[in-house]
Amino acid sequence: MGVLSKLGDLVTGGLAKEAIEAIKDYFPPDMTPQQQADMELALQKVEQRRRDSAAQAAADAEERFNQRIKALEGTASDLRTIPLLGPIVLFLRGCQRPLWGFATLWLDWCWFSAWTLTDKQQSALIVINVLVLGFLFGERTVKNLQPLIVQVFGGSRAKGAGDG
């Protein structure tokens, strides 16, 4: 969901648990275990309502953001109304992902099979790969692959730096 969701989790996360720990010392001594469990359940319900409210606020903010983008940038149906240029722009817009994906695949093939590149050129190709992979497969995929990328590329650089 994004930043607002994470902020909501930060604000509400663990509230019931912390409240229970804080007020355990103040439970009346004659309170039964069942009454204590009921109080804990009530606090957990309050926490869940707060989480739900924060999640709903994040979803509403994201929907308003999407609506604003549509209003400012237009949609694909807006492009269809342009006589000759509209279908061409839609076609080019649809070709973006495959075009960048195959171009990067070709660059990588050349890089690993035939090219001898400088460190700066290799760094540029790594950046291009991360950008294209992030665009095609999402930020989460790139974050999940980050340790492997650091191990493969960071390890070889560190080894090369100590050799000279």
| pLDDT band of 106, cuts 50, 70, 90 | very high
Q: Tell me the range of 57-66, 131-140, 153-162 where mean pLDDT is highest.
A: 57-66
- Quote the pLDDT of residue 9: 52
Taking the C-alpha atoms of residue 15 and residue 9, their distance in angstroms, rounded to an integer, is 10
Q: What is the mean pLDDT of residues 21-41?
A: 76
> H-type helices in 74-164, by residue range?
76-80, 85-113, 119-137, 139-149, 155-163
Q: What is the mean pLDDT of residues 113-132?
A: 87
- Quote the pLDDT of residue 15: 64
Q: Is the pLDDT of residue 142 over 50?
A: yes
